[in-house]
Structures are given as structure tokens and as C-alpha cells.
Amino acid sequence: MAAGVTVTVSSGDAGSANSIGSPSTDPSLISVGGSTDQGQVEYYEFGVPSGVSNITANVSLANDAADPVGAYLISPDGDTLGYGQNSLNGTAGLSLTAYTLNPVPGTWTLIVDFAEPVAGNEISEPFTGNVQFNNVSMSAAGLPDSTSTKLAAGMPVTVPVAITNRGQAPEDFFVDPRLNATASLALAPLVPTTNLALPLTVEFPPQWLVPTQTSSVSSAASATLPIMFDLSPFPGDPDIASGSPGTAPLCTDTPSVSYTPPGGTVTAGGWAAGRPGRPSAGRTRPGPRPARSTRSR
């Protein structure tokens, strides 16, 4: 049975009113604050019980489709496991949806981020939203997923995949076949990661694309002088340092970092190694070494 909670908010610049309503299915949904700096960021916490297979978070704007708005689903351990924005392939709209699969029980956070630039002819931006459980529907009729099924060599097999988009925004979906096992993979870099001069440029630190269903990620560097670096996904959190507090030096010529979240799922998408705005000395030898990820099925 699908269960859900409902958010109703009027939001904008400093001084705007926020109102939250939630049905008895989950009375724990609360507003935990928002920023009043450039743009506007609102945070909402909600409880996820055991047995939930997926979360859908919808946000609908009253107007100003050109305002860039993002929605993020944050797991109890602080990883961003669902993204949504009010534009798709360059077309802006008045709605956005973020999804995540197999959420761990606990307190999750929905972040609604009104970025810049926004329309300058009003001081508030009304929006409504809802968070729903077990609302995703898909099927793949004829998928040969049984161990007793044998496919003839050289014969192609076509399996139609049907996805019902029950969210409030248009979406792109992709098929990502996996085996029923985990493996450690060296990730291909998105930008050059060898023979880098320090300090690194803010625009192009070493970057990799971490696939979905990743359970851990690690990175290492090699340099001619002692250095340290931070590893983080593009949203910025978590931000993991290669050095740790203690009596040992923070900087070495072979720093490394590894991250395995308690919830078992790493933020998918772009990750970067570096410390933007914090110059380091020295010049690296080939490195950082390829980031590695361990993927589940």
C-alpha cells in the first residue's frame, strides 16, 4: 500500500511565511529551516518506515518557470540519493520530481533550492509539494531473469521496458543492467588527472562519474611534495578529507581517502578531488590514482 506525506509551503525572501501540513500517515514531517541569503533554500524532514521500496518527492511552482529550482532527497547518513530540477533538456517547467530506490529507514530530508537568477518582480515564490512512498511503477515483460533460462547464442532478445511516470515532472530514464554481485571498478576520469600543477584550478579539479548503486568510493594521489585533498560529490556533501586529526601529518606525498556510508549507498553522479579556494604547494606526479567504486547489483 502506498503511503505518503504532504507539504504545502509559501516561500520566498526573508520574512515570508512557511506552513506545513501532513496527514496521519507520517506526522513527523517538519520544516527544519531555510536560508535567507541569495536565492532561497528550504529543508523538510520526514520519517521513512521499514518496508518502503521507493520515495517520490514532487514540487510544483505557482509561476516563474524560468526560475532554476532543485529538489534533493538526503538519506539519514547525509548522502544525496535523489535529484530533481524544473528543466529537462533545456526546457523549463513549473514542476520537479526527485526519486530514490530502496531507502533505509530513518529521518530523511527534502531540500528545495531556489537558485539564482530568479524573477525580480516579486518578493515570494509560492510552491506546493508532496512526498510519496511506493509510488514508482515499472515492468519488463519477458525479462530472462531466471537461472533456469538459457538464451541461444547469437540470437538477440528484445525485452520491452515500461515505466509509468507518476511524478509531476517529465523525466529521462535509462536501463542499467547489473549482475547479482559486487565488484571494485577503476573509474574513468572526466578531466585529466595526471601531471597536474598545484594549486589546482577551481574549474577543473580531478573528476569522476560514480555510478548508481555504489556502496563505497575511494581515491588516492601521488605528489612530489606533501599534499592533502578533499573528495566530495558535486552537491558538496559529504566532504571527506585525505588527512585526519591526530599526531600524524595531515599532508603526505601519497594521500588517500575512502568513504563507505552507513546506509550502504553513495551519492551517484559527479565526484571531485581537490580543495577549491585552498591552494597547496608542489607539483604532482601522475595522479590522483583512479577513483574506485564498489557497485551492488
Query: Does residue 290 register a pLDDT over 80?
Result: no
Q: What is the Cα–Cα distance from 254 to 40, expressed in whole angstroms?
A: 40
CB within 8 A of 296, min separation 6: which ones?
Answer: 178, 182, 213, 214, 215, 264
The residue that leads in pLDDT, 1 or 168, is 168
Confidence of residue 120 (pLDDT cuts 50, 70, 90): confident
| 187 and 90 together in one domain | no
| 187 and 269 together in one domain | yes
Tell which of 87, 110, 137 closes a domain. Answer: 137
Tell which of 114, 137, 160 closes a domain. Answer: 137
| 201 and 119 together in one domain | no
Please indicate, yes or no, if residue 160 is contained in any of the structural domains.
Answer: no
Distances (CA, A) of 216 to 63, 79, 178, 234, 296: 40, 12, 17, 16, 10
**What is the pLDDT, as a whole number, of residue 201?**
64
Question: Mean pLDDT throughout 5-16?
Answer: 39
Domain count along the chain? 2
Tell which of 137, 161, 192 closes a domain. Answer: 137
Q: What is the Cα–Cα distance from 199 to 273, expressed in whole angstroms?
A: 13
Please indicate, yes or no, if residue 161 is contained in any of the structural domains.
Answer: no
Taking the mean position of all CA atoms in its chain, how far away is CA 248?
A: 33
Domain that holds residue 14: 4-137
Please indicate, yes or no, if residue 151 is contained in any of the structural domains.
Answer: no
Question: Mean pLDDT throughout 111-137?
Answer: 83
| 274 and 213 together in one domain | yes
| 281 and 215 together in one domain | yes
Query: Does residue 270 register a pLDDT over 80?
Result: yes
Task: Return the C-alpha cell found at 263.
Answer: 546506509
Confidence of residue 108 (pLDDT cuts 50, 70, 90): very high
Query: Does residue 129 register a pLDDT over 90?
Result: no
> pTM of this prediction?
0.77
Percent of the chain past pLDDT 70, that is, above it, reads 78
